[in-house]
Amino acid sequence: MSYRLIADSLRDQIESGSFVAGQYLPTERELQSDFGVSRTTIRRALSALVESGYCENIPNRGVTVIKRLGSGLPTVAFVDGSSMVLRALYRFMSTSLLEKGVQLVHIDSEVLGTEASLQFVLDKHFQGIFIWPFDGFIDSEFVTKALAEIPTVVLDHKLRGVESDLVTFDYFEMARQAVSHLAEQGCKQIGVTGMLDMLETTHQRFAGYMNAMFDHSLTMYPRDFAFCYTSEAPAADYSQLRTILEGPNRPDGIFVMQDEFLPGAVQVAVELGLRIPEDIQFCTIGDDKSVSIGDHLIPAIHCDWLDLANQAQALLTQRMENRKAPHSTHFASFDLVTHKGQRNTIARSTLSPFLQVQEFRFVQSEIPSSGSSYWK
């Protein structure tokens, strides 16, 4: 039996009242015996309950129930995947809404899929829903009918073919500012890497890159398009980026469209003996990966997740009060961060209590040709 099925079974027992708020779940040993699985599987199931907001892990004591759907509080669903940013966003919004007498319940759409997640929300009579879509291609007819039955705010990117309220970032402008920064730092040939997929927000990033190149009268070369990932690929592949950085006409700047690919891209440059920022510069969009080479922080566009969360909550409240109002799109704020002091100042006013930034520190060899480096 998989950990997801075990988590679902325990979640059903919480919802039915078999376990109530404040009660400890059976011990890991007892659950192992009940379900006939390994301790690792049980721990993954319990972690899923904690992450979804049903339970809390009390060190040296056990896992206790903190809420269930039958608690009498208005219930709103948070339908998303399981990235670090989304977990932090959920924890912040859950805490904020609970203070207002509303409980937020996490539903993993990567497990259920968008349509099944929406059906679950309808079957359980939730009062509202936030959804961060992970399916690029959906049953738009079904989703449109489902959203007509429940107040909904979509986060980050649209549901394809469906009209809805949306809170997102202006990814076109974010990309334009990131690439403009590279140009203003003296870069004359700027390449691009990261993920390329069918999402509109991805295309907006690439369009912003192109717009900045035109604004600064810089020539784009197709050979400098070194995308390293797409949907469902097993892992990022930086071989094309390595090829162009090894070539005689290598770019002197790289725009990384998503920060999750920044450490790998920088690693390639450092392994090739390129000095950063003397030989090549980078800039990216995102703030859950912080990359530095010595004292040099790779510039990045930081998303104001707190602003996105607050706007989403306000918009859902408005939708609950007026179901017939026209749909609207709202943009959260962002900042270009170019040095560590600026990053620390911004972090104090965002999701820092909930979001653990991954830091990558590179060390370059004093002899560039050696390509020696490490990051952690």
On the question of pLDDT at 191 being above 50, the answer is yes
**What are the residues whose beta carbons fall under 8 Å from the beta carbon of 84, sequence distance 6 or more?**
288, 355, 356, 358
375 found inside a domain? no
**What are the residues whose beta carbons fall under 8 Å from the beta carbon of 117, sequence distance 6 or more?**
77, 79, 107, 108, 109, 131
Per-position DSSP letters for 290-355, written without gaps between them: EEEETTEEPPEEEE-HHHHHHHHHHHHHHHHH-TTSPP-EEE--EEEE-SHHHHHHHHTTTTTTT-
pLDDT given at position 15: 75
315 found inside a domain? no
Do 188 and 261 belong together in one domain? yes
Q: Domain range for residue 348? A: 171-304+336-370
Do 247 and 352 belong together in one domain? yes
Query: In percent, how much of the chain has pLDDT > 70?
Result: 88
Query: Identity (one letter) of the amino acid at 303?
Result: C
Do 126 and 231 belong together in one domain? no
On the question of pLDDT at 52 being above 80, the answer is no
- Overall number of domains in the chain: 3
Query: In percent, how much of the chain has pLDDT > 90?
Result: 53
Neighbouring C-alpha atoms within 13 Å toward the C-beta of 275 = 8
**pLDDT tens digit string along 62-110?**
888 875 555 556 789 898 866 667 777 888 888 888 888 888 888 877 7
228 found inside a domain? yes
Do 122 and 188 belong together in one domain? no
323 found inside a domain? no
Residue that is last in its domain, among 131, 163, 195: 163
Cα(239)–Cα(268) distance, integer angstroms: 9
Which CATH number covers residue 62? Answer: 1.10.10
**C-beta atoms surrounding 257 within 10 Å:** 29
Cis-peptide, bond into residue 277, ω within 30° of zero: yes
Cα(9)–Cα(82) distance, integer angstroms: 20
Mean pLDDT (whole number) for 234-244: 97
Do 153 and 182 belong together in one domain? no
pTM: 0.77
Chain-wide mean pLDDT for the chain?
A: 86
Do 137 and 244 belong together in one domain? no
Confidence of residue 42 (pLDDT cuts 50, 70, 90): very high
Which CATH number covers residue 120? Answer: 3.40.50.2300
On the question of pLDDT at 346 being above 60, the answer is no
198 found inside a domain? yes
309 found inside a domain? no
251 found inside a domain? yes
Confidence of residue 354 (pLDDT cuts 50, 70, 90): low
Residue 215 near residue 248 (C-beta atoms within 8 A): no
**pLDDT tens digit string along 305-345?**
889 999 999 999 999 989 889 999 999 999 999 876 655 55
Mean pLDDT (whole number) for 17-38: 85
Residue that is last in its domain, among 163, 198, 220: 163
Residue that is last in its domain, among 140, 163, 186: 163
Do 176 and 285 belong together in one domain? yes
The torsion angles phi and psi of 286, rounded to 5 degrees, stand at 135, 160
On the question of pLDDT at 366 being above 50, the answer is no
Cα(210)–Cα(356) distance, integer angstroms: 32
28 found inside a domain? no
